[in-house]
Amino acid sequence: MASRRVKITFPEVLVGRPLVYNLGSKFDIVTSIRRADVGAETGWVILELQGDEEEINKAIIWALEQGVRVDPIAGDVIEG
């Protein structure tokens, strides 16, 4: 099973949408929220995505198509 950490940044128009939930339900991956800061106008979530590499890639492409920014994260985001 592959694992990848990403930071997803939401613009104001997408803050209220269940994008993290949809990632886990539309694709055969497990999403674990490692950190997050979501306000009324913008937000970001650091996710650990686990599953088949192809499914993770499909999920990231889908997220980009929704209008969020997806950046790779290296290292342990819990410990800083």
Q: Residue 79: is its pLDDT beyond 90?
A: no
pLDDT at position 80, please?
Answer: 44
Whole-prediction pTM: 0.86
CA–CA separation, 61 and 70 (whole Å) = 9
CA–CA separation, 42 and 50 (whole Å) = 25
Q: Which domains does the chain have, with CATH numbers?
A: 2-73 (3.30.70.260)
Got the DSSP string for 28-70?
SEEEEEEEEEE-SS-EEEEEEEEE-HHHHHHHHHHHHHHT-EE
CA–CA separation, 60 and 38 (whole Å) = 19
User: How crowded is residue 56: how many other Cβ atoms within 10 Å of its Cβ?
Assistant: 21
pLDDT in tens, 19-52: 999 999 999 999 999 999 999 888 999 999 999 9
